[in-house]
Amino acid sequence: MNNEFKVLPKWLINLFLWIGLCAGIAVRSLMLLNRANPEAAVWVWRFAMFSYFIFFAYRYIIGRRRKGVVTRHGLIEKIQAAEQLDETTRDATTYILRSIVRSKELFNYAFICALSLIALVLDFFAD
């Protein structure tokens, strides 16, 4: 199988899912934790920023791979020209492929990833 089309193992996909979920829970618990234990809140915040960095870097890489596969192989044009597909299948597939290419998710993932890293670095230098 071409490495370009290799899907990560399910356990690794699930690991990144849990990293993202834990980061989300950590961020949302900060207000309460800061009242109860401000020192612990700092470490939970650091954990959340590091986890967000990892998760959104992963999402950026996956999104970029998908977009690259669609554009490198001209999948939109090939699907539109495929006569053996019925119109609904062709339109649905074209919609999905166009949404991958046109989506601004890569910018969003890169932006969140960069901000998380910047916040973490600034936090360590501020102490």
Question: pLDDT tens across 76-126, in order?
Answer: 999 999 989 999 999 999 999 999 999 999 999 999 999 999 999 999 898
Alpha carbon of 114 to those of 35, 96, 106: distances in Å?
Answer: 28, 28, 12
Number of domains in the chain: 1
Q: Does 2 reside within a domain?
A: no
Q: Does 4 reside within a domain?
A: no
Q: Using CA atoms, how far apart are residues 12 and 108, in angstroms rounded to an integer? A: 22
Q: What 8-state DSSP symbol labels residue 85?
A: S
What domain range is 32 assigned to? 9-126
Q: Does 77 reside within a domain?
A: yes
Average pLDDT, the chain: 94
Quote the pTM value.
Answer: 0.87
Q: Does 103 reside within a domain?
A: yes
Residue 1 has pLDDT above 70, yes or no: no
